[in-house]
Structure 1
Amino acid sequence: MTSTSTAPALRRAGAADAPAVAAVLAAALDDTDIAHWLVPDDAERPEVYRRYFDLVTPWFVEHGTVYLAADGSAAAAWVRLDGKFEPEIADYDRRLAEACGAATDRFVRLDVDMLAAHPDGLTHDYLAFLGVAPAAQNQGLGSRLLREHHRVTDGDGLPAYLEATGRRNAALYGRHGYVDTNEVPIGDGPPLYAMLRPPRAR
């Protein structure tokens, strides 16, 4: 594990950081089960994922809270919601098709099924994406990113919600206070695992 003295600092990302955030999220999430279902071709997936995150990341930077490791090795994107997650990205359908090509229908199915499962009528902070570059994994960066924002949710007395991409990730989140709420089926692909973390007293 990286020592505290050598671990990269975490900071709030701004508009100019969106490309760096998109790059690390695309690289970090490229090898998940859902990624393999979305884009089965290993050769095509990195570029499709990069275009997808280039599309969605600026919205989170503008409307949410995005953290970026100073060396670009990890990032997390949060947004506070009063109910359903309904991002309004300009010309989204056309731009999604341009970004994802033959995989567009599966990305649309992912959007539809995730939105349907999202908590309704509950004010909470939603962790849309958290990723650590492959070379920097297993060094505690994911946990640091979680703790960075849990200070906010705990301070505001709000729950946090996410969808884990697999049981290994769900176990990590469980160690940080998240509990399973339900399995989220995604078309004919692998399920996601919805998890909620109640606020902790400070």
Structure 2
Amino acid sequence: MARLSGLLATSFQQDALTRWMIPDERRRAELLPGFFRVFVELSAAHGGVFTAGDGEAVLLFLPAGAEPDEAAVDAALSRVLGEHAEAMRTIAALQAARHPAGRPHYYVSFGAVSAGRRQAGLMSGLLSRMLDRADAEGVGAYVEASSPGGEAASRRVGFERFGCDLVLPGDGPVLRPMWRDPR
């Protein structure tokens, strides 16, 4: 878990979303491993962690029907983020307002590839593996891309824009909702 949390933290250190959530670079580097550990543990509890390249790539997701204990997740993130937890709550509220309700789906939360292995197809492979499961179950998949690389990887495996972008307050970054129907 620590290695995967570290990979995600390193990969998202300069991401616009985490920079908005935790503006101070030093503090962000301190908090992100714990932040991502919450999501690794949450996804693992639902069978939603895929890795590739001997741990050089990771995809976190929740399968259709997974119902996390939102209060427990919020409490864990509050412990980890401290004063930055309110920014995470703002992000979560925007996501919840746009999340596709009433449509069973897999929900991709985070993915990362180590710097030396990017553009090697690892993320596309992980997404395809998850989509194979979703297709076998006859359900869609949903993701909110926070970077051009995340959007490109999602498009390569069939995701398309899903409504309007989510824009964080104060000229904050944009999350691009994307959907893929089952095949």
The aligned runs of 1:15-94 (5 Å cut-off) are 18-69=1-52, 71-82=54-65, 87-88=68-69, 91-94=72-75
1:91: Cα distance to partner? 4.1
Match of 1:100 in 2: 81
1:87: Cα distance to partner? 2.4
Give the TM-score of the pair, scaled to structure 1: 0.80
Q: What are the ranges of 5 or more consecutive residues in structure 1 without an aligned counterpart?
A: 1-17
Q: Which has the higher helix share?
A: 2
Q: 1:87 to 1:186 in 2, by over 3 A?
A: farther
CA distance in 2, matches of 1:21, 1:164: 19
SS at match of 1:199: coil
1:89: Cα distance to partner? 5.6
Question: Which AA in structure 2 matches 1:126?
Answer: Y
Match of 1:187 in 2: 169
CA distance in 2, matches of 1:122, 1:130: 23
1:39: Cα distance to partner? 1.3
Match of 2:112 in 1: 131
Number of equivalent positions: 181
1:64·1:77 contact (CA, 8 Å) conserved in 2?
no
Tell me the alpha carbon deviations over residues 157-180 of structure 1, each in whole angstroms, 9 at most, x when there is no partner: 221110000334223311211110
Match of 1:199 in 2: 182
Alignment of 1:116 with 2:101, yes or no, is no
CA distance in 1, matches of 2:149, 2:39: 25
Q: 1:199 to 1:95 in 2, by over 3 A?
A: closer
2:108·2:142 contact (CA, 8 Å) conserved in 1?
yes
Tell me the alpha carbon deviations over residues 74-96 of structure 1, each in whole angstroms, 9 at most, x when there is no partner: 111121234xx862166444432
RMSD over aligned Cα, in angstroms? 2.0
CA distance in 2, matches of 1:36, 1:170: 18
Q: 1:54 to 1:168 in 2, by over 3 A?
A: closer
SS at match of 2:8: helix
1:26·1:50 contact (CA, 8 Å) conserved in 2?
yes
Tell me the alpha carbon deviations over residues 34-82 of structure 1, each in whole angstroms, 9 at most, x when there is no partner: 1111111122212211111122321210124211235221111121234
Instruction: State the identity as a percent.
Output: 28
Question: Which AA in structure 2 matches 1:36?
Answer: R
CA distance in 2, matches of 1:44, 1:90: 25
Q: 1:152 to 1:86 in 2, by over 3 A?
A: closer
1:136: Cα distance to partner? 2.1
2:58·2:112 contact (CA, 8 Å) conserved in 1?
yes
Alignment of 1:156 with 2:155, yes or no, is no
Q: 1:159 to 1:91 in 2, by over 3 A?
A: closer
Alignment of 1:144 with 2:125, yes or no, is yes
Q: What are the ranges of 5 or more consecutive residues in structure 2 without an aligned counterpart?
A: none
CA distance in 2, matches of 1:148, 1:93: 29
2:64·2:139 contact (CA, 8 Å) conserved in 1?
no
